[in-house]
């Protein structure tokens, strides 16, 4: 296992975190669109769209956590291998 693996998972974790933030911002905008002078059906459609975006954000956040764990595991594995060589 090489340090490149740690870097790759670290970059993936960062990318997924950024994607989650972007999706959460889209959800926030969807809730604000249209103001209060819209029908109940339009509000419901807005809320449904925002919930879809929030769920996408949660999935991206889960992927970020998984990549972060992979960074930790890879780092500990590299440390253990380096310690065994001494």
- Tokens 């595991």: give the residue: 73
pLDDT at 1 over 60: no
CA distance 11 to 25: 21
Report the pLDDT value the prediction gives residue 21, as an integer from 0 to 100: 94
Task: Say whether pTM exceeds 0.75.
Answer: no
Structural domain tally of the chain?
1
Please give the residue range of the domain that contains residue 57: 3-84
Residue 43: CB atoms within 10 Å: 13
From start to end of 1-86, where are the E strands? none
Report the pLDDT value the prediction gives residue 48, as an integer from 0 to 100: 94
Q: What's the pLDDT tens digit per position in 5-48?
A: 778 888 888 899 999 999 999 999 988 887 778 888 998 999 99
């Amino acid at each position: 296992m090489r340090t490149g693996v740690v870097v790759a998972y670290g970059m993936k974790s960062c990318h997924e975190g950024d994607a989650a933030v972007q999706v959460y911002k889209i959800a926030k905008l969807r809730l604000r669109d249209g103001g209060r002078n819209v029908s109940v059906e339009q509000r419901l459609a807005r809320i449904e769209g925002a919930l879809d975006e929030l769920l996408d954000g949660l999935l991206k956040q889960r992927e970020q956590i998984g990549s972060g764990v992979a960074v930790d595991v890879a780092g500990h594995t590299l440390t253990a291998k380096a310690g065994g060589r001494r």
